[in-house]
Structures are given as structure tokens and as C-alpha cells.
Amino acid sequence: MSETHPAITVLGQFDPSDIEASAHLFTEDAVWHYSNPNLPELEGDYVGGAGIGAFFATLARKTHGTFRIEPISVTPVGAELVVVQARNTLTLDARNVTVDVVVVWRIVAGRITEVWDIVPGQPTEVHNARD
């Protein structure tokens, strides 16, 4: 029987749809680095619980609450890093968008200290929301 990596246990508690309930998982100076050429107005660094909460609130508004994450693989790297490959789905400007992403998490002493959320320039799939 194998034990779950401690950093993966922390990530299992993270709920992007309820940042307030997940606030205790982040250090006060945690930084969320967001890179997405399709949403340049959101690109940048978000610091602390308030900044990270604002990022997810803006994302929820832009996608009308349709943003969903489907983890594909979760790989711990050493004691502090976890690399997550995920497929995100959302509705943006009347289009259903699916995009494959990579998120690198740095977790120190049981708390998230830094996140690199990397979205490629081209979505995996795009369909009109009416289709």
C-alpha cells in the first residue's frame, strides 16, 4: 500500500469554486502566476488570498460560472513541487472551449506558496455554445 504524497493531499483540499474555503491552504504571500494568451487581461501575478480570490472571481464572471477542471495526471517532483496536467472547460464569448493546461504547484510545510498556471496559445477544442 502506497501513501499519498503530502503535497497531493494538500491539493486534494483545494476547491477553485470556493476560494474562501481554500484560503487556509495558501501562505499569506502566495503567488499565482497566470499565463494565457487567450485571456491577456487576466495574465499576471496574483498575490495572497485576496489576489488569488480576485483572479478566480474574475474568471468565474468571464465564463459565467462554467469553468471546470478535469485533472489528467498529478505528479509530485521532489518534496515541494507537484505538476498537474489538466483539461479545462469553459464557455467564453458564446463558445465552449476546452484547453489542456499544466499547473506547477509549490507546497512548503503543508501550504501552497506558489503556482504557475500555464495555458497554451491554442485551445484543444472550440465549439459554438449553441452546438
The distance from CA 129 to its chain's CA centroid, rounded to whole angstroms, is 23
Q: Where does the chain have alpha helices with state H?
A: 6-11, 19-22, 48-62
Predicted confidence at residue 52, as pLDDT, reads: 95
Which residue, 40, 103, 37, is CA-closest to 70? 103
Cell numbers found for residue 76 = 509530485
Predicted confidence at residue 46, as pLDDT, reads: 97
Cell numbers found for residue 111 = 501550504
Predicted confidence at residue 120, as pLDDT, reads: 82
Helix (H) or strand (E) holding 14: none
Give the tens place of pLDDT for each residue, 74-97.
999 999 999 999 999 988 888 888
Query: 67 near 60, Cβ under 8 Å?
Result: yes
Region for residue 56 given its phi and psi (left: phi exceeds 0; alpha: psi -120 to 50; beta: otherwise): alpha
Of the candidate ranges 47-56, 63-72, 121-130, the one whose mean pLDDT is the lowest = 121-130
Predicted confidence at residue 108, as pLDDT, reads: 97
pLDDT band for position 1 (50/70/90)?
very low
